Structure 1
Amino acid sequence: MREAGISTKKVEPKKQSGSELALAYLTSWSENPEEWKFQKTRQTWLLLHMYDKEKVPDKYFTILLDYLQGLQGNARDLTVQKAEAFMKEFDDANAEDPDLLEKCERIRQVLQLLS
């Protein structure tokens, strides 16, 4: 093949980003619950980035709210604590920033759900 000028280099498939993997995990939880498996790293990513509209678009955030209803133990407690801390932080910030307002709305939804 080399003599014919045909490349034998393997083309490796593009690896999915953490965002893509976490959103696929969430979709699997929603659409295929019998095949879904808990993955702490995916849940952690979702909990860290759930207020960022760019990383977790609105259509996934509604699924995430359903997912959060089943959140238990320390993960639930920490999520509530962090959300309350964010709200206090944002109360002192510029309330006219649209990105900040969107984050605050997501935080309110999470707090209402988990409190």
Structure 2
Amino acid sequence: MTESSEKKKKRNKGKKHISKHVLKAREAKEEAKEKEPPKQTKTKKPKAVVKDPSEAIDYLKQWKHDKSAWKFNKNTQSWIIRHMYDAEKLDKAAFSLATEYLQGLQGGTAKTWVLADATKRALRYKQYEKSPGTDGEDVEKMETDKTTKDDTEDLIRWKNLSDHDKRKEYKRARKVLEVLKE
């Protein structure tokens, strides 16, 4: 290597040529960042899995009648616990299987959560029974209070239920409480 080529390398060492399109892209990105409002850090909630109720019913039937082939599935268990009060998703026979399944529920946290949820539903119905028609005020109060999105959605769903469906949910909540307190 000649002396002049070494000098050129040293001179150009810190400088790299950046294409115009790369520079334009960087500028556009910076402008977009300035226009965006600052992001708030959120904890990512797992996407709700839309499960076919027949899958959950089959899971419960297999648990009851064929334990050698049955395999625990956390997602299915969670789905059952979340939807066991909905008579459209779990019919009466499936609900009775679900209550038997809940008797063997492992884990103190899960049991505590199910008990708290059933208690909340039973108390909500008792309060509704005393003064029907005031649940709309509860929705407005919940939206202004610091509650979770799930609680607000549950209260809105509750408000849209018929009196008959509210009574069904109450009966199911009482049954869950009865089974878990044994």
TM range (shorter): 0.7 to 0.9
Q: How many residues get paired?
A: 100
4+ aligned runs moved over 4 Å, structure 1: none
Higher helix share: 2
Aligned to 2:85: 51
SS of alignment partner, residue 70 of structure 2: coil
Give the C-alpha shift of residue 87 in structure 1: 1.4
Identity %: 33
* Bigger radius of gyration: 2
Which one of 110, 118, 122 corresponds to residue 83 of structure 1?
Answer: 118
Q: TM-score when scaled to structure 2?
A: 0.51
RMSD: 1.8
Structure 1 stretches of 5 or more lacking a match? 1-15
- Counterpart of 1:103, as a letter, is E
Q: Are the aligned partners of 1:18 and 1:45 in contact in 2 as well (CA < 8 Å)?
A: no
Give the C-alpha shift of residue 17 in structure 1: 4.1
Is 1:24 paired with 2:58?
Answer: yes
Q: TM-score when scaled to structure 1?
A: 0.79
Structure 2 stretches of 5 or more lacking a match? 1-49, 133-161
Aligned to 2:165: 99
Deviation readout 1:62-87 (Å, 9 max, x if unpaired): 11111111012211110001111111
Is 1:60 paired with 2:60?
Answer: no
Deviation readout 1:8-35 (Å, 9 max, x if unpaired): xxxxxxxx94312111111110111111
Is 1:69 paired with 2:103?
Answer: yes
Deviates more, 1:25-34 or 1:93-102: 93-102
SS of alignment partner, residue 69 of structure 2: coil
Rounded to whole Å, the distance in 2 between the matches of 1:102 and 1:75 is 23
Q: Are the aligned partners of 2:60 and 2:98 in contact in 1 as well (CA < 8 Å)?
A: yes
Is 1:34 paired with 2:68?
Answer: yes
